[in-house]
């Protein structure tokens, strides 16, 4: 009898997680999926589409402690898909702790990561498990870094990258690759990187690096971006002790989309939570922008061309193995497949599903962990292959 609670379960990422949980790729037997969301219409639409009797709809106002506690109580795991930047992550994290229900979230640029990890000993003493940032980036990306680190006896640096490319006619409609607030924060907020053995703050859109990748990505311009991987990976057991001095995370979005987000930041939407007054009413720029983008997609969906999305996630580690200077690399490539058609972001949703099920399948480790400290590549990577993600690892002499 396994009950999974998904908070924000009818949103883009949550709905994708549900799709993977009810698929024939399931890792464990699932009895009940509590689909908890503020939008009854979205929940009903998803439930009707999937037509799986294990899905139970729960109306949730995450600001109501009684509703939140009821949604979590008695579950075998709580998957928090509520967007981090809405500000409820710590309240949900604490509610899971009080209920003694294992907790997992999708991260959110590292906004609360350090604060959550500081609760490790309290969770460990109470016998409660929490795994943070368990989507694709962060999540799968952390496991990629663990795979690279495990190939090295001594580590000088690990550099982590994510790139996306769209193949097809140019899209006249801006379709966010994930949460609007997340993309804006990646472009507008300073990031913390691990440089010369210490965490340092770097200005937005700095650290520009040109990397030549195989087609369809080609020559890509990467930049620093705020994420949680650089906050946890260089401090992880089995990595820190190997002497790592540098860890960075860099982003590359398709060129036209990159220009659009840069333009929005230039226009002031980077300060998306700072209200402006319009006709005597205070509104948040994020609320306005999100509604306009959503309306534009709904009104002009027929103008959105068919495009194929190609993603590459890779980590490159420099160090020594058996006394020799080597470069270890791990890549995960996600290319178009009919399996991904119903998903907004198959990589994030499928990885979150994998993580939650692996937590439930094996004996739990009490405490608060980032993915590189909870999962091992040998168990994780076969699940990626099952979902048609191509994983490659190489170690070559420098």
d(CA 313, CA 143): 11
- Residue 246: which of 317, 207, 191, 197 has the closest Cα? 197
Residue ranges and CATH numbers for the domains of the chain are 3-136+347-380 (3.40.50.720), 140-341+389-397 (3.30.360.10)
- What is the CB neighbour count within 10 angstroms for residue 352? 31
Radius of gyration of the chain (CA): 21
Torsion of CA 138, 143, 145, 151, to 10 degrees: 180
Please compute, for residue 259, the number of CA atoms within 13 A of its CA located in the half-sphere on the CB side: 3
pTM for the whole structure: 0.94
Taking CA atoms, 19 is separated from 46, 148, 287, 345, 358, in Å, by: 9, 30, 27, 12, 17
- Per-position pLDDT tens, the chain of length 398: 899 999 999 998 999 999 999 999 999 999 999 999 999 999 999 999 999 999 999 999 999 999 999 999 999 999 999 988 788 999 999 999 999 999 999 987 788 999 999 999 999 999 999 999 999 999 999 999 999 999 999 999 999 999 999 999 999 999 998 889 889 999 999 999 999 999 999 999 999 999 999 999 999 999 999 999 999 999 999 999 999 999 999 999 998 999 999 999 999 999 999 999 999 999 999 999 999 999 999 999 999 999 899 999 999 999 999 999 999 999 999 999 999 999 989 999 999 999 999 999 999 999 999 999 999 999 999 999 999 999 999 999 99
Q: At what angle do helices 12-21 and 346-361 cross, to 10 degrees?
A: 50
Give the model's pLDDT for residue 85: 78
- Please tell me the predicted confidence (pLDDT) of residue 110: 86
Whether the CB-CB separation of 228 and 199 falls below 8 Å is answered with no
**CA–CA separation, 316 vs 309, rounded Å?**
23
Q: Please give the backbone phi and psi of residue 370, each rounded to the nearest 5 degrees, phi first.
A: -85, 160
Q: What local confidence, expressed as pLDDT, does residue 382 receive?
A: 98
């Amino acid at each position: 009898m396994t009950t999974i609670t998904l908070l924000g379960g009818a949103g883009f990422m949550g709905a994708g997680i549900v799709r993977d949980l009810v698929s024939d790729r399931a890792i464990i037997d699932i009895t009940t999926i509590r689909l908890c969301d503020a939008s009854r219409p979205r929940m009903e639409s998803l439930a009707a589409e999937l037509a799986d009797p294990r899905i139970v709809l729960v109306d949730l106002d995450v600001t109501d402690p009684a509703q939140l506690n009821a949604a979590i109580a008695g579950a075998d795991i709580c998957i928090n898909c509520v967007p981090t930047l809405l500000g409820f992550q710590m309240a949900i994290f604490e509610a899971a702790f009080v209920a003694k229900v294992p907790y997992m979230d999708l991260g959110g640029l590292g906004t609360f990561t350090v604060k959550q990890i500081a609760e490790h000993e309290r969770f460990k003493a109470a016998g409660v498990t929490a795994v943070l940032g368990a989507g694709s980036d962060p999540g799968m990306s952390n496991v990629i870094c663990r795979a690279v680190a495990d190939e090295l006896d001594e580590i000088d640096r690990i550099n982590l990258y994510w790139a996306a490319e769209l193949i097809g006619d140019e899209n006249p409609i801006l379709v966010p690759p994930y949460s609007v607030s997340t993309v804006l924060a990646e472009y507008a907020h300073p990031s913390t990187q691990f440089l010369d053995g210490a965490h340092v703050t770097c200005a937005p859109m700095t650290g520009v690096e040109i990397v030549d990748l195989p087609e369809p990505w080609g020559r890509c311009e990467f930049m620093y971006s705020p994420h949680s991987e650089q906050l946890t990976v260089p401090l992880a057991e089995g990595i820190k002790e190997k002497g790592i001095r540098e860890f960075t995370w860099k982003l590359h979005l398709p060129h036209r989309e990159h220009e659009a987000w840069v333009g929005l930041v230039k226009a002031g939407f980077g300060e998306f939570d700072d209200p402006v007054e319009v006709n005597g009413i205070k509104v948040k720029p994020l609320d306005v922008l999100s509604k306009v983008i959503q309306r534009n997609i709904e009104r002009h969906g027929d103008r959105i061309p068919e495009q194929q999305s190609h993603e590459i996630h890779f980590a490159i580690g420099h160090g020594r193995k058996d006394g020799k200077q080597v470069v270890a690399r791990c890549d995960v490539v996600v290319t178009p497949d009919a399996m991904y058609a119903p998903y907004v972001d198959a990589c994030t949703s499928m990885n979150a599903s994998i993580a939650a099920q692996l937590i439930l399948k094996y004996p739990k480790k009490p405490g608060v962990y980032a993915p590189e400290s909870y999962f091992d590549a040998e168990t994780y990577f076969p699940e990626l292959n099952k979902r048609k993600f191509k994983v490659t690892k190489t170690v070559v002499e420098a």
